[in-house]
Amino acid sequence: MTRTLDRPGAEVPTPAGQDPPQRRRRRDRTALIPYFLILPALSLLAVVLLWPIVQMVWMSLTDYGLRQLRGEPAEWNNFAHYVSILTDDRFWTIFRNTIVVCLLMVAITMVLGTLVGILMNRLPTWLSTTVGIALMLAWATPVISAAIVHRWLFDARYGLVNATLARLPDWLVGSGWESFNWFNSPGPLFSVLILTVVWQSFPFVAVSVLAGLKSIPGELYEAARVDGAGAWRSFWNVTFPMLRPLFALLLILQIIWDFRIFTQLNILAGGFTNRDVFLLPYYSYQLGFYSTPPNYGLGSAIAVVMTVLVLAITAYYLRVMIRQGETR
Amino acid sequence: MRHRLLKKAGRVGDYLAAAAIMLFALFPVYWVLTTALKPNGEIFTRDPTLFPRELTLEHYKRVLSGVLIPETSFWSFLTNSLLVTLGSVAIAAVFSLLAAVAVARFRFRLRTAFIVLLLVIQMVPIEALIISIFVNFHHLGTATSLPLTGSLLGVLVVYTTVALPITILMMRSFVAAVPRELEEAAAIDGATRWTVFWRILMPLVAPGLVATSIFAFITAWNEFVVAFTFLQSNTTSFTLPISLKYYFGRVTVEWGSIMAASTLLTIPVMVFFLFVQRRMVSGLTMGAVKG
């Protein structure tokens, strides 16, 4: 391993043609070692993720259905899927809902997580640790369990939420909660969905912000206080600028994660029958696996739209990471 | 004087806020645990009790004895989950260690391209790729007569691959943290590459390897979409997360049993989480992006 060259000039260059043939062969083999080392990982990535990306684009441009799954050749269809998506009101409704729901999840998660991080930083250690453990339990709950317990809390007949709302005075919460169904229409369902997702994702933001806050020197806050800055100003003038890279990263991560929501929606919506409450990943999935006949082509077209959106959102972040030397 | 009073009020406010946050974070967890322990009479009622009046292990018994899904049992779901999870973690650990050594210790022509590929590919949501992965595996399975769809094998392969970008990037930072001088010194003493690898590098990156593996374990253990897509045709191949979905799909939802099963699914994650919680934050914010 010492022969590998991280530092330029670490190896004395041998004049060409003077290498004994045996040594040269050995060095050639050495040059291949890293390729052998990445080969297993690279071949899996190529077969399982890279090729499907190519295939997804191809399928989105053809009438890919059950016949093609059985081996019949797929035929180019002149962007028919894209045309039908772009002219379909349902697609645009789902598209808009996806953006709105995702933005709400991200915004609430970021604000709540940051506030909790700041709070934890002010608390005495024992209490901050206790809060940390509580957060960890929410964070570590499997997504499917989180979805199911929220489905149960909001159950129409036996759910705790409806029972509580029904017991509260009508002037406060209105009436008619006894059998209110949260899972039929977009508004209530998306509210529960946002709650479920935020519940699980704010702990990560809180813990990350807490770690970030601990790295800011206290003198900066002292200086701000001397200058007469209150909590609000010292957040915007000290904390935020110091943690800007962290916030940017957390924001990107939350957008990516919340954009892909599937499991929670599957549990809350209880299947694929109610198209009013679909989000993009869910719509794509339904077209591929739950429509008769399966429409892999159209499902793929929506998947392509999703992928392009995600990559567009992350492009900036990727560029920063690559420039900052993640690749070095 | 006034200042001190304000400070005191601020502290009380902090404590109240902390209590509210804990309540918010813990309540659903508490509701899972208590529902699992309540008898059905207390579960199916229009005014639920905050504290169970009577505790029962009935739901756990029903789940563990496989009354809910005929012909199978919790134990077979557990075995399936362990198989795919541990299998994919083991393969991902070996593959990513190799690749991490390549990236951290060698300069080679495709190195940057490889890292950029890892960074980009982990951004692509698996939910977008699931249709084409399924179709791809269907064709591959037909060509090779391997049971890639409808069996645990395909799920294992997908879990392994999906874990790779993040595990390689995490492992890379652990390998890079080992001082090169140690390896150089050993090489000067006449150690072969293999000896250097096993005797010097391995012991030093072992903790990192464990942390990375736990990370991959949690992800695979909780995974739903891929298992749901590949395995739903036969109940004997179910993993734990999709078995929960199955309990759920019944005409009358057995909330108590679902909550009991949910607890059993959660316990291993909680235990592992304790070990890697801190690394989880640094791992996730390091540039390793997939959750």
**Domain presence at residue B65:** no
Interface of A with B in 3-62 (CB under 8 A): 4-6, 31, 33-35, 37-38, 40-42, 44-45, 47-53, 55-56, 59
Q: How far is B206 from chain A (nearest CA, A)?
A: 18
Contact: A130, B131; criterion CB under 8 Å = no
> Considering the domain boundaries, does residue B14 fall inside one?
yes
Average pLDDT estimate for A290-299: 93
**Tens digit of pLDDT for each residue in B214-270?**
889 999 999 999 999 999 878 889 999 999 888 776 667 889 999 999 999 999 888
Q: Is residue B290 part of a domain?
A: no
Q: What architecture is domain A88-326?
A: Orthogonal Bundle (1.10)
B85/B215 same-domain check: yes
| Domain regions of chain A by residue span | 88-326
How does pLDDT run across B16-74, given as a tens digit for each residue? 999 999 999 999 999 999 999 999 999 998 888 899 999 999 999 988 887 777 777 88
Phi, psi dihedrals of residue B4, rounded to the nearest 5° = -65, -40
B256 burial via Cβ count (<10 Å: 0-12, 13-18, 19+): buried
Is the Cα dihedral B83, B96, A204, A315 positive or negative? Answer: negative
For chain A positions 174-193, those within 8 Å of chain B (CB to CB) are 178
Percentages of chain B per state (helix, strand, coil), in multiples of 5: 75, 0, 25
**Residues B221 and B136 occupy one common structural domain:** yes
**Residue B229 in domain:** yes
Mutate to test the interface with A, among B15, B98, B124 (most CBs of A within 10 A): B124
For Cα atoms B60, A264, B63, give the angle at the middle one, nearest 5 degrees.
10
**Percent over 70 (pLDDT), chain B:** 93
Domain total in chain B:
2
Tell me what ipTM this predicted complex has.
Answer: 0.90
User: CA of A116: which chain B residue's CA is closest?
Assistant: B21
A250 touches chain B (CB under 8 A): yes
Residues B48 and B136 grouped into a single domain: no
B166 and B43 in a common domain = no
Q: What is the DSSP letter of A320?
A: H
B145 and B76 in one domain? yes
Residue B64 lies in a domain: no
Rounded Cα gap, residues A114 and B84, in angstroms: 36
A134 CB-contact burial (10 Å; exposed 0-12 / middle 13-18 / buried 19+): buried
Dihedral sign of CA atoms B19, A187, A282, A256 in order: negative
Residue B81 in domain: yes
A289 and chain B in contact, CB less than 8 A: yes
* Tens of pLDDT, residues B159-170: 999 999 999 999
Whether residue B187 sits in one domain with residue B48 = no
Same structural domain, B48 and B95: no
The burial class, CB within 10 Å (0-12 / 13-18 / 19+), for A268 is buried
Q: What is the band of B289 on the pLDDT scale with cuts at 50, 70, 90?
A: very low
B128 → closest Cβ in A35, A211, A306: A306
Residues of A in contact with B14 (CB under 8 A): 119, 122-123
Query: Helices A240-259 and B255-285 meet at what angle, rounded to 10?
Result: 140
Does residue B117 sit in the same domain as residue B220? yes
User: Given an 8 Å threshold on Cβ–Cβ distance, is B48 in contact with A41?
Assistant: no
| Residue-number span of the structural domain to which B86 is assigned | 71-285
DSSP type of residue A291: S
- The single residue listed with the structure tokens 């970030």 is A212
A144, A233 contact by CB (below 8 A): no
Same domain for B85 and B204? yes
Rounded mean pLDDT, A289-312: 94
d(CA A297, CA B97): 37
- Confidence check: pLDDT of A325 > 70: no
Burial track B79-99 (b if 16+ CB lie within 10 A, e otherwise):
ebbebbbebbbebbbebbbbb
